[in-house]
Chain A
Amino acid sequence: MGQFAQQLIVGLSVGATYALIALGYTMVYGVLRLINFAHGDVYMVGAVVGFYLARFAVGAGWGVAASLLLIFGGAIVVCVVLGFLIEFLAYRPLRNRPRIVVLITAIGVSLLLENTAQLQWVFGAQPQKYPTAIQLALNARIGSAASGIVVTRLDVLSLGLSLALMGALSWIVLRTRTGLALRAVSYRFDTAMLMGINTNRIISFTFMFGSGLAAVAGCMDGIRYNADPLMGIQYGLKAFIAAVLGGIGSIPGALLGALLIGITETMVKAYVSSSWADAVAFLVLVLILLIKPSGLFGRHEPEKV
């Protein structure tokens, strides 16, 4: 039982990070019907920026709380700007082109970010660990050791931060004028424009918000694991699957899909075999799509020709 609870914590913690990335995929898909393949690499940029800021903060002798504030804050700012630039420079000029053109551009942006990060004077090909001081501070355990279940500050921080950010996102989408506009754009792009909504502004906002969430996920995984110029490939893919599983375009769907993937993966590793972890995660995806082709929360939408 203790073992199961422990594995559940791991699964939730992993799933929470997937969720933060998955939201970026799903939001962009919601408004533009575009799968932004560069999104996983924005997450990587978050980890890399966080790495440099962490090194600076620890080098300057800052406290842990101040360092974390700088790491997360700085990474969010950089990624928000990056998200805006990617949309403005790469996707906006192609807005009225066939969707496949934009999709290929997204892959191009992804490769550009990955290979730029691998340059020696940017970050280099080798994965690098965050400063030990930061890692140790977050590795501290919470709760009694008697139960044998280990919950670290990092677990609490990642789950708490993910939930808080998702709450904020829901509030924006459901309660603000920007959110209303976002829903309108997502519902009918052209009609929204006719209603006087500045669609370009809404699209920029979507990219910026999604990138900010990815930055948080990047810093969290940077602290938990390391910063690695290719980390966006694997985690981006997983998060994308989570978004599809939950019904791409749906915000609660992305959250649920991500937690489902995270927990499934962990449980398979724990109780079956790690070689099967990915296979089973994909199997779950296939099964759900067979039963409900639009995903758990997706709405069915006939292809418009």
Chain B
Amino acid sequence: MKFTKAAVSGALALAVAIFAGQGACRKKTFDYDARSTIVLGQYASLTGGTADFGKSSNDGLQLALEQINASGGLLGKQVSVTTEDDQSNSDNAVAAVSKLINRDKVSAVIGEVASTRSLSGGGICQSSRIPMLSPASTNPQVTKTGDYIFRICFTDDFQGKICARFAKDQGWKRVAMLTDTANAYSKGLATAFKENFPVDMIVADENFKAEDKNFEAQLNKIKATNPDAIYLPAYYTEVGLIVTQARRAGMTMPFFGGDGWDSPQTQSNPDTVGCFYSDHYSANDPSEATQKFVKAFAKKYGHQPDAMAVLGYDAMGVMAQAIKDAGSADPKAIRDALAKIKNYDGASGQITIDENRNATKSIVILNVTGKPVPDLAKRYDPGE
């Protein structure tokens, strides 16, 4: 017994020494360019509560990857993306990102869609000095994590501001608001909207909690103020319930909201016809980059891409551009190149990374028509 114990502890000590040595060694001299392929990582919610978001963005990313490798890869090498499923869970996101960085030694990380998980995973990327590019996290806090964290979508501040602008352009003089007070996304959009819309033209400011199903009390109150339109920054499940209940109460005015509306459920609900929401792109956008992407996506997957798919596609594209610009697969070099991305011609519009590592890009307002793809009502460019 004694002998085995000694042997075990000896082996353990040796193992620890080897791992420690490897760790130290990796920190100083791991050569990302010495590999025969360029290895990138992705963490996404492929299962769990927001699986639709993760699957969509992964579909877009895989399509971009396929195209890049088919045209010869990057820097003369093929590119591989290692994907970890975080099961729509923030703790799992931390574990997934750690695995990608420590086990797979990825040069850069792409992910996540949901802001809360981007915040969790971003902390690890920042402390390991590995650049992270989020395809779709719109919460302003995400890129404030540090100088290695980027995104290719607009922020909620911008989205709320443009919605206010759109309401003014529509000539709506009486706007009511209905906000989900238990949801950071909803509150963020509402705040940005209020900052950019005349106070005296907001006739009602009501709120709800997402677990609620009955919104008739708030809607009746709003109805009494007789608004021209109602700003509803919320996710699609609540949007469907609220708009249907409003129509039942005899309210016919349009609702408008943000990218949380983007779902087949919104398009198929007859009550939302005539409503508007801001989004990342329109499948009806006539631009060449968009149409090329829409066709390729429909050919590979057999259905129209949604906003998450186009953002996954563009995230991979921007990452590839940065690696090309850097001329290296070294994380630091990629980070510096990402910070300098300018006028990248993406499927979701031109992307320029600003000094806060956010994308300045155009935003579209979509009009729900009852068809599977909503109409493009208006486009706003970043300068506006």
Which residues of A are interface residues toward B (Cβ below 8 A)? 3, 6-7, 10-11, 14, 125-127, 129, 132, 135, 139, 141, 145, 150, 152, 154, 221, 224-226, 228, 231, 234-235, 265-267, 269-270, 273-275
Contacts and interface: CB of A to CB of B under 8 A. Distances in A.
B21 interface: no
Which of A126, A154, A231, A235 has its CB near the most chain B CB atoms (within 10 A)? A126
A150 B248 CA distance: 8
A6 B248 CA distance: 13
B270 A132 contact: yes
Contact of B269 (A129, A154, A235, A267): A129
B209 A274 contact: yes
A7 B241 contact: no
A31 B249 CA distance: 41
A226 B265 CA distance: 12
B22 interface: no
Given A3-B220, A226-B240, A270-B220, A150 B213 contact: no
Dominant SS at the A interface? Answer: helix
Contact of A127 (B217, B224, B237, B249): B237
A275 B49 contact: no
B217 A7 contact: yes
Given A127-B237, A132-B270, A141-B250, A270 B213 contact: no
Given A270-B221, A274-B206, A10 B216 contact: yes
A179 B153 CA distance: 65
Nearest to A127: B237
Contacts, number: 68
Interface string B191-223: 000000000000000111101111011101100
Given A141-B250, A150-B249, A225 B211 contact: no
Q: How big is the B interface, by class?
A: 20 to 34
A10 B248 contact: no
Interface of B: 49, 181, 206-209, 211-214, 216-218, 220-221, 224, 237, 240-241, 244, 247-250, 265, 269-270
Contacts of A152: 248
Given A274-B207, A274-B209, A10 B181 contact: no
Nearest to B244: A135
The 9 tightest CB contacts between A and B, nearest first, are: A269-B217, A225-B213, A270-B217, A10-B216, A139-B248, A266-B217, A150-B250, A274-B208, A6-B220
B377 to A, nearest CB: 24
A129 B240 contact: yes
B212 A274 contact: yes
Contacts of A129: 240, 244, 265, 269
A269 B250 contact: no
Nearest to B181: A275
B61 to A, nearest CB: 23
B300 to A, nearest CB: 23
Nearest to B211: A234
A46 to B, nearest CB: 15
A156 B220 CA distance: 18
